[in-house]
Chains A and B, each alone.
Chain A
Amino acid sequence: MTTPSISAVHPASSAGAGAGTRKLKGGILSLGLTVYALVTLYPLIWLFISAFKTNEEFYSRPFGLPDVWNWSNYARAWEVADMGTAFMNSAIVTLLALAITLIMGALCAYVISRFQFRGKLLVMGTFMLGMLIPIHSTLVPLFILMNKVDILNTYAALILPYTAFELPIAIFVCVAYMNTFPKEIEEAAMIDGSGYWGIFLRMMLPLSLPALATVGILAFLRYWNDFSFALVFISDPKLKTLPLSLSIFATGYSTDYKLTMAAMALAVIPTILAYLVLQEQVMKGMTAGAVKG
């Protein structure tokens, strides 16, 4: 800001100076923001660069680039950490849980949004309660329960609780979205002779795609990244998911840093790809998920 006395004397030049300082300020701000963003991204950049190094380079020049980019680190990490198995397990568990979450969530949301029945408030209240319970406090109770029904060390030990804990947010996001549809569209379908299943499959599901996308992204990231449930419910090496096998690998190979880095880099590629493609939806979805869940 220039002072009024100067601007009274040289109106034209002061306007130029004002714009100049504003530009300078804007430049400094942009520079500061860029630095902040790079600092935020640095741990990740460091991860991907370190994964190409030798162990010596990792110790002696942690900030430098590798002399030779060792792609073989990735291949070796894949093999040594048995990441094929872990990727497969994570993919199976995530996809199955995702499918069940979306189908059950959408169907439940359709019923809650469109039908009147006794006990509706009770049902909604029950699901609401689920969003208040801190997920980690249930590790011991769930372990005891799954031990009793004998499903520890199965895919179901992850798929079922993942789905159960994700259902409330899935239902509430979908109900909020379906409530905005006008009633007329179903009445038209009713006259055409579609039953409730027909309306659900041919009308509600396609119309709810944006809400389902939000729910799906959120669920995908939670399932793919989950560590605590896998840690407590899975001990069979053949069933270990990616985060669990990474944590074990990092402890076991604690001095072979390049391999651990390469294994981690491989493990984060799917979520980073998903993020690069869908960043706006991921940001909105995860923020909504944080507020509601």
Chain B
Amino acid sequence: MSSALRIRGFIAIGLLPALALFVFFVIVPILWSSYYGFFDWKGIGAMKFIGLDNYKEVVQDRLFWHSFKNNLLIVAASVFGQVPIALLLSLVLLKNGWFQKFIRASIFMPMVLSSVVVGIIWGYIYHPQIGILNFLLDSLGLESWKMQWLSDPAVSMYAIMVPIIWLNVGPYLIMFIAALQNIPSEIDDAANIDGARGSRKLFSIKLPMIWDTIKVAVVLCISGSLKAFDLIYVMTGGGPANSTELLASYMYNNTFSIYRFGYGSAVSTMIIIISLVLVAGSQYLMKSKK
């Protein structure tokens, strides 16, 4: 065998299995489902071509847009919750001492838990009768603050945001600490010589120096908001009265609970389009705002 052939053979063996697996399980289903979106189909039996009807129904369904709004609420909770908390903590946890490492490791801990476990634990915390949150309010004499945290549509979405923030501070904290530690020490020395102190140093030097990292964090909040499906499924299932429905749970409930696979496929396609637009758009905005 010639050496050119051997190289080719090796490249093919190295690439093709991985590429085939990836294309078959990630790319093909997406393309396929955008096609199924044109059919009325119960998952078994005949498929009836109905043109754009499914897609029209998605766009006109108020519940779909309500779910989308909930996704945006999670983005907001992440941008205004996780990011500032992580940023504040990173400023005081910058040193690499054992105490700082211990606090960082504790804050990161929830990330390694299964979202099912997180969801069930927080479900118990919020539980109207046995929940420790209402128990705590009772023992503090704050009975009037007690609520049906997860079963009152007016508060359920906000109640869900707390575990989401609790869960996700860790990686942002690590990102910000890495960025702050990357600021060259000469810059800090120069600032000290110029007499810059505390808050002045923070706003004129530290924040501008890690601005790019903060931008990355905001983009992450957007793509991360689409991952909250597990938590919602375990804690509320999208209820009560669809108040905590997310795009992914909307798709799940509209496909597997009522066997509308054509419609579910159309929703899936819409979610992918929306998220690509959101991620691309946010990255574009972040780049142009220099």
Q: Which residues of A line the B interface, CB within 8 A?
A: 29-30, 33-34, 36-38, 40-41, 43-44, 46-47, 58-59, 62-63, 104-105, 107-108, 110-112, 115, 117, 123, 126-127, 129-130, 132-145, 147, 160-161, 163-165, 167-168, 171, 195-197, 221, 224-225, 227-228, 231-232, 242-244, 246-247, 250, 257, 260, 264, 267-268, 271-272, 274-275, 279, 282-284, 286-287, 290-291
A36, B25: Cβ atoms closer than 8 Å: no
The answer to whether B106 touches A283 (Cβ under 8 A) is no
* Contact partners of B224 in chain A: CB under 8 A: 290
Residue B248 lies at the interface, judged by CB distance under 8 Å to chain A? yes
Q: Find out whether the CB atom of B109 lies under 8 angstroms from the CB atom of A41.
A: yes
Among B12-20, B56-64, B200-208, the stretch that binds chain A is B12-20
How many Å from the CB of B99 to the closest CB on chain A? 7
For the complex, is B22 an interface residue (Cβ under 8 Å from A)? yes
Query: In the bound complex, what is the Cα–Cα distance between A160 and B21 (angstroms)?
Result: 7
Determine if A132 and B32 form an interchain contact, defined as CB atoms under 8 angstroms apart.
no
Known A-B contacts A145-B29, A257-B130, A283-B105; A137 and B248 likewise in contact (beta carbons under 8 Å): yes
CB of B210 within 8 Å of the partner chain: no
14 further contact pairs, Cβ within 8 A, besides A144-B265, A196-B6? A40-B110, A43-B125, A47-B121, A63-B135, A63-B136, A133-B30, A138-B268, A140-B261, A140-B264, A143-B256, A225-B113, A243-B116, A287-B170, A287-B174
Q: Are B272 and A247 in contact, CB atoms less than 8 angstroms apart?
A: no
User: Which residue of chain B is the closest to A50 with respect to CB atoms?
Assistant: B124
Check if A279 sits within 8 Å of B108, measured CB to CB.
Answer: yes
Minimum C-beta distance from B112 to chain A (A): 5
* B50 interface residue per 8 A CB criterion: no
Query: How distant is B33 from chain A, measured CB to nearest CB, in Å?
Result: 4
Q: Known contacts A40-B109, A110-B14: does B175 contact A268 (CB below 8 Å)?
A: no
Report whether B175 and A287 are in contact in the complex, using a CB–CB cutoff of 8 Å. yes
In the bound complex, CA of A89 to CA of B229 (Å): 23
Whether A250 and B120, one on each chain, are in contact in the complex, defined by CB atoms closer than 8 angstroms, is: yes
B18 lies within 8 A of A107 (CB): yes
Check A37 against B106 for contact (C-beta < 8 Å). Answer: yes
- Name which of A36, A244, A275, A287 has the most chain B CB atoms within 10 A of its CB: A287
Q: Is B107 an interface residue (CB 8 A)?
A: yes
Contact assessment for A126 and B275 in the assembled complex, using a CB-CB cutoff below 8 Å: no
In the complex, B214 has a CB within 8 A of chain A: no
CA distance A115 to B3 in the complex (A): 13
Partner of A43, one of B92, B122, B251: B122
**Are A134 and B252 interface neighbours, CB within 8 A?**
no
Nearest CB to that of A107 among chain B residues? B14
Q: Which of B18-75 contact A (CB under 8 A)?
A: 18-19, 21-30, 32-33, 36, 43
Q: By DSSP majority rule, is chain B's interface helix, strand, loop, or mixed?
A: helix
Over the window 215-250 of chain B, the binary record of Cβ atoms lying under 8 Å from chain A Cβ atoms (1 yes, 0 no) is 010001001101101100110000000000001100
> 16 A–B contact pairs at CB < 8 A?
A43-B118, A43-B166, A46-B121, A46-B132, A104-B17, A140-B33, A143-B256, A144-B265, A168-B22, A225-B113, A225-B114, A225-B115, A227-B114, A247-B120, A272-B109, A291-B220
Give B contacts to A, CB under 8 Å: 6-8, 10-11, 13-15, 17-19, 21-30, 32-33, 36, 43, 89, 92-93, 99, 102-122, 124-125, 130, 132, 135-136, 166, 169-171, 174-175, 178, 216, 220, 223-224, 226-227, 229-230, 233-234, 247-248, 251-252, 255-256, 261, 264-265, 267-268, 271-272, 275-276, 279
Which residues of chain A have C-beta atoms less than 8 A from B118's C-beta?
A: 43
Given A144-B29, A250-B120, A260-B120, check contact A271 B22 (CB 8 Å). no
Least CB distance from B88 to A in Å reads 10
Query: Are the C-beta atoms of B25 and A33 separated by less than 8 Å?
Result: no
- Whether A227 touches B15, Cβ cut-off 8 Å, given contacts A141-B265, A145-B29, A165-B26, is no
Are B229's CB and A138's CB within 8 A? Answer: no
Q: Do A111 and B115 form a contact, CB below 8 Å, given A62-B135, A138-B26?
A: no
What 9 pairs between A and B have smallest CB-CB spacing?
A141-B29, A141-B33, A164-B25, A111-B14, A37-B106, A225-B114, A136-B248, A134-B226, A137-B271
